[in-house]
Structure 1
Amino acid sequence: MPRDADATKERILAAATAEFATHGYAGGRVERIASQAKSNVRMIYAYYGGKSSLFDATVAEALRRMAENVPPRPDDLAEWAGDVFDHHQRFPDVLRLSMWAQLERPEATAEPSEAYRDKTLAVATADASPLSPVDVLVFVYAIAQAWQLSPAGLTGLEEATDESETVAARRRSVVIAVERMLQKGP
């Protein structure tokens, strides 16, 4: 049976996402990635050139998919923040991977600047805020990620309710926070 290079690369990236999101760059092991991808270390090096290139490709692909799955909504940035929150609920590995990249290989997160530039231009065009478009994007992302990044000891102070109700309440708080942030002041 002939080898399907694209399918192998996809399996490797999926395994690398899980591995690096769990263990970071330093703790991630190429051998575990190969095993999870039902491939071998030689193929990883053939396709990606090494661990650092694989990590960078994994981060770039995760951020590219997020940009594709959560396109900017400059006319409704509050709901866009809710969309980003939803994305992180569905794909928590992307946020963890991004955090590891910020800590261990910040150059890996510089790659998708085009996606961010497009979002910034969309926000600037919409003229939705007295803040600069970059400020708006940074704050929207920060608010949308806040629940996932906050200590469990703090987020656990909420009244215990049904998990889906808790997530829905958190999403509402993200949307409201962005709406209030964007209100034009005196």
Structure 2
Amino acid sequence: MARDAEATRARLLSAACDEFARVGFAGARVDRIAAAAGSNVRMIYAYFGGKSPLFDASFEHVVSAMAEAVPPRPDDLPAWAAELVEFHDRDPRALRISMWAQLERPQATTEPLDVYAQKVSAMHLPEQGELRPADVLMLIYAIAQAWQLSPAGLVAHGASSTAERAAAARAAVHRLTGSGARQAAT
């Protein structure tokens, strides 16, 4: 049977995303990643060069996948916030790996800065008082990620379903931006 290099690489990357999201860089084990991918540790080194570059590839992969799945909606920021909530409820790996990167490897991890720069430039938002467009985006992300990052005891008293969380995020961003469907500046 011929080996499919791209399929093996994709399986390793997927298993790594799961492992890093679950236990972070320090807790992740390349032998568990290889086993979950139906491969071996040697292939991790062959395709990625080691655990550190595999973490970086995983981080870039999940953030880029999120950016592609939930692109900014400058014409309707409240709806975009709701979509982000739904995405994080479906697949929290991007958020979790991002948090692990900030906690464990803030200087070592190469963030996909181009993804964020594209989002900021795609927004074409006017300044809102003291808030710059990037600040508005950060606040939208904070709202959309709140249920994943808040203490369980607090979350238990808030919106319980994905639909309720999406509606709460939509309402909060509506208040932040001052409209239900914010039009892009020309």
**For residues 22 and 11 of structure 2, what CA distance do their matches in structure 1 show?**
17
Match in the other structure for 2:126: 127
> How far 1:173 sits from its partner (Å)?
0.6
Q: Runs ≥4 in structure 1, deviation > 6 angstroms? A: none
How does 1:164-179 map onto structure 2 within 5 Å? 166-179=161-174
* Inter-CA distance 158–174: structure 2 relative to 1 (3 Å threshold): closer
Name the structure 2 match of 1:181: 176
The number of residues matched between the two structures is 178
Partners of 1:68 and 1:171 lie apart in 2 by 19
Taking a change above 3 Å as real, the CA distance of residues 95 and 19 of structure 1, as seen in their structure-2 partners, is same
The residue aligned with 1:154 is 154
* CA displacement 1:32-88 (0-9 Å, x = unmatched): 000000111001001100100000000000001001111110111111111111110
- Map 1:76-91 → 2, pairs under 5 A: 76-91=76-91
Query: Would the aligned equivalents of 1:129 and 1:183 in 2 still touch at CA under 8 Å?
Result: no
TM-score when scaled to structure 1?
0.89
Which residue does the alignment assign to 1:33?
Answer: 33
Q: Which amino acid aligns with 2:105?
A: R
Aligned match of 1:7: 7
Could you say which structure has the higher helix fraction?
1
1:168 deviates by 1.2
SS state at 1:179 partner? helix
Aligned AA (2:36): Q
Cα distance between partner residues in 2 of 1:59 and 1:12: 13
SS in 1 for 2:2: coil
Distance (Å, rounded) in 2 between the aligned partners of 1:121 and 1:101:
24
Q: Which segment is superposed worse, 141-150 or 166-175? A: 166-175
Q: Could you tell me how far 1:96 is from its partner in structure 2?
A: 1.3
| AA partner of residue 61 (structure 2) | E
TM superposition shift of 1:148: 1.1
Greater relative CO (CA pairs within 8 A, separation 6+): 2
8 Å CA contact retained: 2:82, 2:165: no
Instruction: Using the TM superposition, give the Cα deviation of residue 169 of structure 1 relative to its aligned residue in structure 2, in angstroms.
Output: 1.3
Structure 1 unaligned spans of 5+: none
Aligned residues with identical type, % of pairs = 54
Match of 1:102 in 2: 102
Change (3 A) 1:98 1:80: same
CA 1:122–1:72: 2 relative to 1, 3 Å: same
| Structure 2 residues not aligned, in runs of 5+ | 180-186
CA contact (8 A) 2:74 2:122 kept: yes
CA contact (8 A) 2:81 2:144 kept: yes
C-alpha displacement at 1:157, in angstroms?
A: 2.3
Q: For the Cα contact (< 8 Å) 1:60–1:108, is it kept in 2?
A: no
